Amino acid sequence: MEKKNIYGWKLMHTYNELPPFFYTNQPPTPAKEPKLVLFNKELADEFGLEQDKLESPIGAAYFTGSQLPTGADPIAQAYAGHQFGGFTRLGDGRAILLGEQQTPSGKSVDIQLKGAGRTAYSRGGDGRAALGPMLREYLISEAMHGLGIPTTRSLAVATTGEFVQRERPLTGAVLTRTAASHLRVGTFQYALVFGENEEVKQLADYAIKRHYPELIDVENKYIRFYEAVADRQAQLIAKWQLVGFIHGVMNTDNMTISGETIDYGPCAFMDTYHRNTVFSSIDREGRYAYVNQPYIGQWNLARFAETLLSLFAEDEEKALQIAQAKLEVFHTQFEKYFVDGIRKKLGLFTADEADEDLFKQLLYLMETYKADYTNTFLALTFNRLDSLALYQQADFKEWLEKWQTRLEKEGKSAEEVQELMKANNPALIPRNYFVEEALAEAVNNQDYTAFNTLSKALENPYAHTCEQGAYANSPEISEYYQTYCGT
């Protein structure tokens, strides 16, 4: 018999201590021919896993669900959600939670297999995943981590030796996703709509204990809990906006209680700056466009507040007043985080009343003249303004003078300003052209050279190396680029 922590696995199951109402026991479906194609060695080390042992056929078996780590107690989680505004009952239709890995640093991290087979929540789906979307999630989630944005992460991708049928047969694969937890706003909606107030309270107590333990014994802890989740979401969405990231499917089941980014289906990064940019093929009305992300974040938090009303106050009217007051703070919080971030991107160490107008004018000029979002800030950082078509515009030169005047008020050296800007303006993002090129080579030709090279460049996007410069411009920018959910 295997030892409890063979290969470094140390799994706990606090979520399973909640009532069965919240989950279904669900073993993964074994794969026909498991094969490991990507393995995140750095993350494995962080989790205390023996990477040399798992980078092998046994790792492929674990990362497809064909063999369970000792101590695993697999479940599929139940949740609900508003998808494009319409409410529906959901759940892990193709994802299975093995347990919570206890890391050497004392963290508890969900280990989930995405694409591991049918569950009680599959709703007619096959429970499987195709290789391309799983590679995409691996690449983008790790890039987000490199950018310093809270995110679920990817430990491995393994193929199953089987095809999944979509529009055509595709190579089957399983992604091993890790997260602080997979608790969502949609989990609370599920508890409220399909359970009772007691289930909502149990879930809130669990979430507080797991993610906000400092609130366990405070007065009005459920109100404080809501405030903490809202604040993390304000920070998160501001970070998205600051690098031009567009999530693409901000349903309530894709808003985590921990404040991590989750679900990398139809997401993408802007090249040319435009507030109304949409990439998702299914977002035909632009609900989740770049400009709308803060407002959708607030809308989702309104749905979250609805689930907690009974915990805010016994009197319904008072509970509604509390929720409304807390919700109104969100946009102010978001604006603060976003403006602070833009300030750093422009090398400003202090705040000034005129800063917001300075920032808005720059974004207006970028949109008017179809400037590249990332590269405009890079050109400002390294004083490569003659590389910008924007530099030929008289109104942009006027803006530059205002910016230089504002910098002089800081009293900082040119070196200090540049270091601040380098730390806040990435050398590269996962540009759509290079992402698609890397995925096509991996999926169609089983050649991971481009994928691995791009992944390496994205590990530390603030390093500003010569190698990263190769990804600064896409050979061709398409205004009609579309992404798909991968299901």
Residues annotated within a binding site for ATP: 91, 93-94, 114, 126-127, 177, 184, 263
* DSSP sequence for 253-270: GG-BSS--B---SS-EE-
Other beta carbons within 10 Å of 439:
19
Q: Can you say which residues are annotated as belonging to the binding site?
A: 91, 93-94, 114, 126-127, 177, 184, 254, 263
d(C-alpha 383, C-alpha 349), whole Å: 19
| Rg of the Cα atoms in the chain | 23
d(C-alpha 224, C-alpha 213), whole Å: 11
Place of tokens 């695993």: 72
Q: Is 147 helix (H, G, I), strand (E, B) or coil?
A: coil
Q: List, in order, residues 6 or more apart from 61 with CB less than 8 Å away.
A: 34, 67
d(C-alpha 228, C-alpha 211), whole Å: 10
d(C-alpha 112, C-alpha 141), whole Å: 15
Which residue in the list 92, 110, 231, 253 is annotated as catalytic?
A: 253
Tokens representing 161? Answer: 């030796």
283 is catalytic: no
Q: What phi-psi label fits residue 474: left (phi over 0), alpha (psi between -120 and 50 degrees) or beta?
A: beta
Other beta carbons within 10 Å of 98:
24
For 297, phi then psi, to 5°, come to -60, -45
Q: What residues does 86 pair with on adjacent strands? A: 83
Amino acid at 45: D
In this structure, what is the dihedral angle of CA atoms 6, 10, 14, 20, given to the nearest 10 degrees? -20
d(C-alpha 342, C-alpha 352), whole Å: 13
Tokens representing 209? Answer: 């204990």
Other beta carbons within 10 Å of 214:
11
d(C-alpha 385, C-alpha 132), whole Å: 38
State the DSSP code for 387.
Answer: G
So which residues are the catalytic ones?
A: 253
